[in-house]
Structure 1
Amino acid sequence: MHQFLPYAWFGGRCVPFAEATLSVATHALHYGTGAFGGMRALPNPSDPAEILLFRADRHTRRLSQSARLLLTELAEETIHDAIVTFLRANKPTCPIYLRPFVYTSDLGIAPRLHNIETDFLIYGLELGDYLSPEGVSCRISSWTRQEDRSLPLRGKISGAYITSSLAKTEAVKSGFDEALLLNSRGKVSEASGMNLFIVRDGVLITPGVDQDILEGITRASVLELAQAMGIPTLERPVDKSELFVADEVFLSGTAAKVTPVRRVETTDMPGHRPVMTAIRERLTAITEGRDSAYDHWVTRIRVDG
């Protein structure tokens, strides 16, 4: 049962969550013509009246770019200001997940993006670990990751997540925690809502942006951190068979954070994960405001005023 925050940003202002409702005829509900973001925030462990937002600038930029893919304009400053107002209204006391969403709000039946109204909302919920920090089991999905030529994968377009939903449920119903999707060329793309990394001979490897992945913000952060920590990195195509012989396999995402993969299909992965562990510990310190070298990745918002 989700514990939603008491207020949502809806119609250009904060309203009680229960009052943030949409018509059954809303265009985005029928055609998936929306785009969303996902952001984590938590009270500063040393000052609970200060909320820490991880890489807020990157998240607002990606959502603004996603809106452009829907042929609408949503300025980064508009998103940022709404998030600040939203957090000050809710005054969260535990780690939360924010879901900003831009969508076609018209009441119509024609699938289109021209001559149509759009709107923007934010809601949030309390969220600890989305996936077990001890590790997850994964299966290779029978569903194929979409291609960028069929829909714009550079944005988090809501309609694209039907494939993720099918893959996730297929995995869970067949006894696994998570799904790994191959692209149309048979290369590993990503999980249902996370990017994927493997480690081979000390090199951190992840599918590149040419493999129909979402350009994950946590993914980019992991790569940047690894390079700063002296860990060699490669962005290249990953074959399915590489998953079974890798020294480490892990997932990354805003909700998932950094989560180890303990089993792929029937193959158990090594339990010793020095590269992932070092990166996860560093990333945790950054998100909690304990790493001054990366303080610029954290936006601090006071909610006691």
Structure 2
Amino acid sequence: MHNFLPIAYFRNQFVPFAEANVSIATHALHYGTGAFGGMRGLPDPQNPGQILLFRLDRHSQRLSQSARFMHYDLPPDKIQQVIIDFVKKNSPTTSFYIRPFVYTSDLGISPRLHSVEKDFFVYGLELGDYLSPEGVSCRISSWHRQEDRSLPLRGKISGAYITSSLAKTEAVESGFDEAILLNSQGKVSEASGMNIFIVRNGKLITPGFDQDILEGITRDSVITVARSLGIEVIERPVDKSELFIADEVFLSGTAARVTPVRRVENYEYSPQRPVTDQLRDKLTAITENRDPEFRDWVFAIPLNA
């Protein structure tokens, strides 16, 4: 059961969420010709009169770039302003998630991106922990991550998430919490909707962009924070066997934040996770605007302004 925020942005205006509906003939519904973003927000723990959004500028920029794959010119500053207005109109009182979406809104049946109408909407819902903060179990999926030569993986293209959906359901129905997908070369790529990190000998290792991963904003945040803490970060291909001998493994994403992995297949990890815990605590402090070093990552929206 989801608790959706009461107001949505739809067809260039703010309307009640229940009235923001699309036709069953909508082009994007049939062809997956959409792209989305996702960002978290929360009431400021130190100042209840304002809402904090994490890296609003980067999220707006990435969605604008994703829209370009749809042949849709949607400037980042427009996305950002709509989201600011959206937050002010909803005035959330608890932790929440924002889903902006660009899509081909025409009612045609020809699979194309040219000469077809596009649109942009935003809605939100209350959201706490997407995955258990105590840690999750993962299986290696029988489904492989797509290749960038087949899909523009640097955008969050909605049609690409059929693979994530297949992998997630396969994992859950076989007794695990989450799936880890390999790429076409048999290297570790990412989870169903999250990037992945491993820790070996105190070093943080994660698949690079050449491994068909999404350019995750939380991933970028983890890498930047780790380096600020003096942790060596290595971006390189990761073998499946490395997952089984890693000291720590965790997932990162807007919804998942930093989620430790307890087990991959039948390989258990120690409950002691010094690097994961240090990074998670630091990122929590940043998102709550308690860390002056990264204050520019937090966008504060006064509700009375």
TM-score of the aligned structures, taking structure 2 as reference length: 0.99
Q: Equivalences for 1:150-229 in 2 at 5 Å? A: 150-229=150-229
How far is the alpha carbon of 1:304 from its aligned partner? Answer: 2.4
Give the SS at the match of 1:295: helix
Match of 2:266 in 1: 266
Alpha-carbon distance between aligned partners in 1 of 2:30 and 2:206, rounded to the nearest angstrom: 34
Supply the AA of the counterpart residue of 1:242. E
Give the SS at the match of 1:48: coil
Match of 2:276 in 1: 276
Alpha-carbon distance between aligned partners in 1 of 2:86 and 2:3, rounded to the nearest angstrom: 16
List alignment gaps of at least 5 residues for structure 2.
none
Supply the AA of the counterpart residue of 2:214. L
Match of 1:132 in 2: 132
Give the SS at the match of 1:144: coil
How far is the alpha carbon of 1:142 from its aligned partner? Answer: 0.2
Alpha-carbon distance between aligned partners in 2 of 1:208 and 1:282, rounded to the nearest angstrom: 23
Match of 2:289 in 1: 289
How far is the alpha carbon of 1:46 from its aligned partner? Answer: 1.3
Alpha-carbon distance between aligned partners in 2 of 1:49 and 1:14, rounded to the nearest angstrom: 22
Alpha-carbon distance between aligned partners in 1 of 2:54 and 2:72, rounded to the nearest angstrom: 26
Alpha-carbon distance between aligned partners in 1 of 2:127 and 2:85, rounded to the nearest angstrom: 20
The total of aligned residue pairs comes to 305
Supply the AA of the counterpart residue of 1:240. K
Supply the AA of the counterpart residue of 1:213. I
Supply the AA of the counterpart residue of 1:102. V
Is 1:52 the counterpart of 2:52 in the alignment?
yes
Is 1:34 the counterpart of 2:34 in the alignment?
yes
Is 1:113 the counterpart of 2:84 in the alignment?
no
How far is the alpha carbon of 1:48 from its aligned partner? Answer: 1.6
Supply the AA of the counterpart residue of 1:165. S
Q: Equivalences for 1:294-305 in 2 at 5 Å? A: 294-305=294-305
Match of 2:246 in 1: 246
Alpha-carbon distance between aligned partners in 2 of 1:48 and 1:21, rounded to the nearest angstrom: 32
How far is the alpha carbon of 1:150 from its aligned partner? Answer: 0.2
Alpha-carbon distance between aligned partners in 2 of 1:161 and 1:119, rounded to the nearest angstrom: 20
Is 1:144 the counterpart of 2:153 in the alignment?
no
Alpha-carbon distance between aligned partners in 2 of 1:58 and 1:138, rounded to the nearest angstrom: 29
C-alpha distance after superposition, 1:9-46 (max 9, x if no partner): 00111100000000000000000000000000000011
Match of 1:122 in 2: 122
Give the SS at the match of 2:131: coil
Alpha-carbon distance between aligned partners in 2 of 1:178 and 1:49, rounded to the nearest angstrom: 37
Alpha-carbon distance between aligned partners in 2 of 1:77 and 1:41, rounded to the nearest angstrom: 18
Supply the AA of the counterpart residue of 2:63. L
RMSD, matched Cα: 0.5
Alpha-carbon distance between aligned partners in 2 of 1:86 and 1:14, rounded to the nearest angstrom: 8
Is 1:92 the counterpart of 2:85 in the alignment?
no
Supply the AA of the counterpart residue of 1:176. F
C-alpha distance after superposition, 1:118-169 (max 9, x if no partner): 0000000000000000000000000000000001000000000000000000
How far is the alpha carbon of 1:49 from its aligned partner? Answer: 1.7
Alpha-carbon distance between aligned partners in 2 of 1:48 and 1:192, rounded to the nearest angstrom: 34
Supply the AA of the counterpart residue of 1:200. R
Match of 2:104 in 1: 104
Alpha-carbon distance between aligned partners in 1 of 2:206 and 2:270, rounded to the nearest angstrom: 18
Alpha-carbon distance between aligned partners in 2 of 1:36 and 1:276, rounded to the nearest angstrom: 28
Supply the AA of the counterpart residue of 1:123. Y
How far is the alpha carbon of 1:271 from its aligned partner? Answer: 1.1
Query: Structure 1 segments of 4 or more deviating over 2 A?
Result: none
Give the SS at the match of 2:170: helix
C-alpha distance after superposition, 1:176-216 (max 9, x if no partner): 00000000000000000000000001110000000000000
Alpha-carbon distance between aligned partners in 2 of 1:186 and 1:304, rounded to the nearest angstrom: 52
Alpha-carbon distance between aligned partners in 2 of 1:121 and 1:256, rounded to the nearest angstrom: 23
TM-score of the aligned structures, taking structure 1 as reference length: 0.99
Alpha-carbon distance between aligned partners in 2 of 1:304 and 1:49, rounded to the nearest angstrom: 7
Identity fraction in percent: 70
Give the SS at the match of 1:79: helix
Alpha-carbon distance between aligned partners in 2 of 1:226 and 1:199, rounded to the nearest angstrom: 12
